[in-house]
């Protein structure tokens, strides 16, 4: 468990990507690890578009830069584009018990899986939620019936320094009964 806590404590939003390409094999390992993420009724309501071609990655980065924000994303060398797919749950049973929509939680879990896998490969990541969705949809040929959930910028960090994390104390987020 201490290895996992160490990995989780080192994972942070990278804002200082180095000018170094990311190996295809490392991106593949991240996606393979994310593929194993649990989901409600094993619906796996996601697909991941991996952008690794330098010209295309530069265009994806531009789709995140608005009003002077996210300029650092321009140095990312690759992107995971997390796309929401149809969540094939057992509707007859689900509606009788609870009509909750689980896909968003599943998408968050797979995104975290991608970031932790990248960290374990020595890569830095930054989850990006603000981007030009129509432009990205067209650029990556993602059909209009699918929702682009998040982008994850990927690259080697320029330095490995881990910033102090400002997190709520354990007592504020958990109760043990």
114 in any annotated domain: yes
Give the pLDDT confidence score for residue 89 in this predicted structure: 65
* Cβ contact 142:83 at 8 Å: yes
We report the CATH number of the domain holding residue 96 as 3.40.109.10
177 in any annotated domain: no
14 in any annotated domain: yes
The count of domains in the chain is: 1
pLDDT in tens, 26-84: 999 999 999 999 988 888 899 999 999 999 999 999 999 987 888 899 999 999 999 99
Give the pLDDT confidence score for residue 164 in this predicted structure: 86
Residue 21: pLDDT over 60: yes
Give the pLDDT confidence score for residue 1 in this predicted structure: 60
Helix (H) or strand (E) holding 40: none
Which of 33-47, 82-96, 110-124 is predicted with the least confidence, judged by mean pLDDT?
82-96
Which of 25-29, 68-72, 93-97, 121-125 is predicted with the least confidence, judged by mean pLDDT?
93-97
Within its chain, how far is the Cα of 42 from the centroid?
Answer: 19
Q: Which residues partner with 125 through β-bridges?
A: 13, 154
Give the pLDDT confidence score for residue 3 in this predicted structure: 92
Residue 94: pLDDT over 60: no
97 in any annotated domain: yes
Give the pLDDT confidence score for residue 98 in this predicted structure: 57
135 in any annotated domain: yes
Which residues, at least 6 apart from 11, have a Cβ–Cβ distance to it below 8 Å? 115, 116, 119, 125
Q: What is the DSSP string of 74-129?
A: GG--EEEEEEE------HHHHHHH-----HHHHHHHHHHHHHHHHHHTT-EEEEE-
Give the pLDDT confidence score for residue 99 in this predicted structure: 56
6 in any annotated domain: yes
Count of CB atoms situated within 10 Å of the CB of 37: 18
77 in any annotated domain: yes
75 in any annotated domain: yes
pLDDT in tens, 127-167: 999 999 999 999 999 999 999 999 999 999 998 888 888 89
Q: Which residues partner with 51 through β-bridges?
A: 79
* Cβ contact 128:152 at 8 Å: yes
- The residue ranking higher by pLDDT, 110 or 87, is 110
Mean pLDDT of 101-110: 88
Domain residue limits at 39: 2-158
Q: What is the pTM of this model?
A: 0.90
């Amino acid at each position: 468990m201490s290895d996992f806590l160490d990995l989780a404590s080192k994972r942070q939003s990278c804002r200082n990507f180095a000018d170094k390409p990311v190996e295809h094999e490392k991106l593949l390992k991240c996606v393979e690890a994310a593929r194993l993420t649990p989901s409600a009724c094993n619906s796996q309501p996601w697909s991941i578009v991996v952008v690794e071609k330098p010209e295309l990655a530069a265009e994806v980065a531009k789709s995140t830069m608005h009003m002077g924000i996210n300029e650092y994303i321009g140095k990312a060398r690759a992107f995971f584009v997390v796309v929401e797919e149809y969540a094939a749950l057992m509707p007859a049973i689900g509606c009788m018990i609870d009509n909750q929509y689980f896909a968003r939680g599943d998408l968050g879990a797979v995104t975290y899986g991608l970031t932790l896998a990248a960290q374990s490969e020595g890569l830095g990541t930054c989850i990006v939620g603000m981007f030009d969705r129509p432009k990205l949809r067209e650029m990556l040929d993602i059909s209009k019936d699918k929702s682009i959930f998040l982008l994850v910028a990927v690259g080697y960090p320029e330095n490995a320094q881990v910033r102090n994390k400002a997190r709520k104390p354990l007592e504020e987020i958990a109760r043990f009964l």
